[in-house]
Structure 1
Amino acid sequence: MDRIRIVGGNTLNGSIPISGAKNAALPLMIAGLLTDEKLVLENVPRLADVSLLQRILGNHGIDITVAGKRRGDDAYAGQTLEIDARVIVDTTAPYELVSKMRASFWVIGPLLARMGEAKVSLPGGCAIGTRPVDLHIAALEALGTEIEIDGGYVLARAPKGLKGGRIVFPKVTVGATHTALMAASLADGETTIENAACEPEIVDVADCINAMGGRIEGAGTPTIRIVGVPRLRGARHSVLPDRIETGTYAMAVAMTGGDVLLSGARADLLDSALDTLREAGAEITVSNEGLRVRRNGAGLAPVEVTTAPFPGFPTDLQAQLMALTTMASGTSRITETIFENRFMHVQELARLGAHIQLDGETATIEGVERLKGAPVMATDLRASVSLVIGALAAEGESMIHRVYHLDRGFERLEEKLSACGAEIERIAG
């Protein structure tokens, strides 16, 4: 199993290209099920999750090809996927595939809209209600779907097609908003989604579906209106830049000091996180090229943050911010309101010398003067990169184990950081 070795203490200087957003690329790939024409997605990141979803969609008979590079393409340019769902040969998404990626459950919406039926495993075999799969189901029922749960599978049928309806989510949910948006795009009549997620990735998917001939208004606001169309056509769409990758590298620069241009980044996608970084002591400049992040000489200041749905501080940047605050000159507090059990990185950061106390959903971080390198273990995607940020600033060598988590969401992380002066390498095996 691969490991990553980091010798901390180097500042970061240079340029880091920001990849396409994983959290947009995955639902965009699934949206390819909505049309029998070719959907071409540009700027798709090269990630383990993208490769896995390619295999999952292939199980339904979807043909996905990677277009070759063009002359003059940047080495870090995202890949172009051509998705051909002309023939769907199977409307079942089996447990052995869905259990590997929760987002693959979202195929239920397009399969149902296009084929009138879908049989999709509950993600990880979890019970309804323990994770918000029930909100996906409620949304589909509001569109006239007949739902049955049997043997760990959701059996969904709409033999006469989906009908427009009113969907009111009791809480903001990105996944169920994606499901409702895609299903309603081919439903008969008008659908209103209330208390919809406002994340930029929702807007990106809506923009793509509109380019395919859909009629969606209000994406990016709590109320989305969709007028269903009989069919969608093919289109070409470029995936928006990854705001979580942007925020992660911005925090790495703030942690280590230095001066880095995050090429291609968009400030409007993470205003709340950038405000927090400025409060912590980073200097951030916005230009047509992207975001320039600097911290030279000044120490880190403590911050208080509560995660919230967009446009609030992203839960996907909570672990990275916690790593940053471990060396702030004072007491920081971070409250996690989106996901339970998302403080698994705390014990590993403590191995680097961090002082963190947990009280329910709030972490209190007492800044220390220095961190020291140590062997640590990644527990999930965002936790793993928080350990990278900590190790970059720690004295001596750190070895990060189980880095396959990193490969799910960060493209060429070692290359991007080493190009800016970090002493970081992957050790195979």
Structure 2
Amino acid sequence: MSKLLIRGRNKLNGQIRIGGAKNAVLPILAATVLNGGENILFDSPDLRDVHSMIEILRSIGCKVSFENSVLTVNSSTLSSHEIPEHLVREMRSSIFLMGPMLGRCGKIKISYPGGCEIGPRPIDLHLKALRELGVKITEAHGFLECEAIKLEGKEIHLDYPSVGATENIMLVAVLAKGITKIRNAAKEPEIVDLQNYLNRMGAKIRGAGTSEIIIEGVDKLYGLEHKIIPDRIVAGTIATAGAIAGGEIILNNVVVDHMKPILLKLKEAGCWVFEKNNSLKIKSSQRLKAVEMTKTLPYPGFPTDMQAQFMALMTIARGTSIITETVFENRFKHVDELIRMGAKIKIDGRVAVIQGVKKLTGAKVFAKDLRGGAALVLAGLTAEGTTIVDNIKHIDRGYEQLDKMLKELGADIKRID
């Protein structure tokens, strides 16, 4: 199993381009099933989760090629409605196939999804919405057998603004009869990208990015070309790396508006942040100050996917920081590993209190989830001595060669077996 070896205390300088968003490409890949045509996706990230979704699409008969960030999916050859269990268990995002398969085939058999162990993420919101739209769901022996008796648009109120549930409702409603309204919808930029993709293939959707999305069902959809939006979490991680290591870095191909919640916290910590068109400059030349209160919230709040990385930054900030995790209940798994590196952190339920120290020291640490693993890499950039981050398969799920990106900016980091 590969590891990352980091020799810390090197400042980061230079510029780097941010690629397409993992959380945008996965539901869009699922959506390629809907049109029974050829779909070409530009700026697709080369990630483990993307390859898992490709394997699922191939397993049900789609033809897929992936080269130089261009993904081509031809779903005209779709031949099965059963998703192999071993592939579903690898990746939670396989649940996105429920909507498109029900719209296209009228049925799907799928096991409960797997993925990152960051706390329970029940799919009951998905199932409740699908039932309201006319889907019969039988649950038995760890499988879900779903059949669309008669897909009809309805008004659906989500108890929580779940990103996955919002996207799955959009994906099934595009081919349903009549109008579907999603109230208390999630507002993430990736949902807007999904709306834009679906509309360009012939769907009629409006309201993505607000709390109410309206989908007018259509009879036919068409193949198309689409460019995936930049990954705001990768951009936020690299920006935080620049802050923790010091130096001056430029991020190209970013949507600055998508990153506002992250940038405001970096500014509050004492970073200089300069915005220009689709670029960001991050400058950090002194010890940063603690951010008194940070709370993770659905977009446009501070993203839960940046909590661990921001905590790594706060471990060396001057003063005491408090971070409250409101989205996932088990997302502090990186804390024990940061403490091994000399951090002073206390946990009380969903609240972490971080007392900044003057320096971290290198240690052998273990990545237990995707973003927590990234946080350990960031800690290694500032730590004195050598840090080895083990179990980096999690990191590879969400970052396309994170080590290579950081190395381009001047980090002393390499992948070892």
TM-score, normalised relative to structure 2? 0.97
Instruction: Tell me the distance in 1 between the aligned counterparts of 2:291 and 2:305.
Output: 19
1:62 maps to amino acid: C
C-alpha contact 2:295 2:325 (8 A) present in aligned 1: yes
Structure 2 gaps, min length 5: none
Matching residue's letter, 1:87: T
Separation in 1, partners of 2:295, 2:76:
45
Which blocks of at least 5 consecutive residues in structure 1 are unaligned? 70-78
Compute the displacement of 1:371 (Å): 0.5
The aligned counterpart of 1:306 is 295
Q: Structure 1 residue aligned with 2:304, among 312, 315, 326?
A: 315
Q: Paired residue for 1:224, among 213, 222, 239?
A: 213
**Contact in 2 for aligned 1:19/1:45 (Cα 8 Å):** yes
Which residue number in structure 2 is paired with residue 74 of structure 1?
Answer: none
| Cα displacement (A) at 1:97 | 1.3
The answer for the alignment partner of 1:56 in structure 2 is 56
User: What are the residue-to-residue correspondences of 1:381-400 with 2, within 5 Å?
Assistant: 381-400=370-389
Match of 1:133 in 2: 123
Counterparts of 1:304 and 1:311, CA distance in 2: 16
AA aligned to 1:48 is: R
Q: CA deviation at 1:132?
A: 2.2
CA contact (8 A) 1:280 1:303 kept: no
Mapping 1:13-162, distance limit 5 Å: 13-67=13-67, 69=68, 79-124=69-114, 131-160=121-150, 162=151
Give how far 1:263 is off. Answer: 1.1
Which consecutive aligned stretches of 4+ in structure 1 deviate over 4 angstroms post-superposition? none
- Cα deviation for residue 299 of structure 1 reads 3.2
2:7 aligned partner: 7
| 8 A Cα contact 2:56 2:84, kept in partner | no
Measured in 1, the distance between the counterparts of 2:394 and 2:272 equals: 30
Q: Counterparts of 1:258 and 1:124 in 2: how far apart (Å)?
A: 39
Partner residue in 2 for 1:341: 330
Deviation at 1:151, TM superposition (A): 1.6
2:355 is the alignment partner of 1:366: yes
Query: Which of 245, 255, 264 does residue 253 from structure 2 map onto?
Result: 264
Q: CA RMSD in A?
A: 1.5
Q: Hey, what does 1:413 align to over in structure 2?
A: 402
Q: Choose 296-305 or 16-25, whichever is displaced more.
A: 296-305
CA–CA distance in structure 2, aligned partners of residues 297 and 106 of structure 1:
44
For residue 180 of structure 1, the aligned residue among 169, 191, 204 is 169
Q: List per-residue Cα deviations over 1:3-25 (Å, max 9, x = no partner).
A: 11000001100012111100001
* TM-score normalised over the length of structure 1: 0.95
C-alpha distance in 1, partners of 2:51/2:383? 33
Q: How many matched pairs?
A: 415
The SS at the match of 2:90 is: coil
Amino acid at match of 1:393: T
Aligned partner of 2:182 in structure 1 is 193
State how far apart, in whole Å, the 2-side matches of 1:298 and 1:135 are.
44
Encode CA deviations 1:64-97: one digit per residue, 9 max, x unaligned.
1125x5xxxxxxxxx1111111122110113211
Q: Is the 8 A contact 2:161 2:186 kept in 1?
A: yes
Using a 3 Å threshold, how does the CA distance of structure 1 residues 124 and 410 change in structure 2: closer, same or farther? closer
Please give the alpha-carbon distance, in whole angstroms, between the structure 2 residues aligned to 1:89 and 1:343.
42
What letter is aligned with 2:13? Answer: N
Question: Shift of residue 130 of structure 1?
Answer: 5.2
Deviations 1:264-308 (A, max 9, x none): 111101211110110001111111241110012353333310000
Report the equivalent of 1:248: 237
Q: Residue 26 of structure 1: SS of its match in structure 2? A: helix
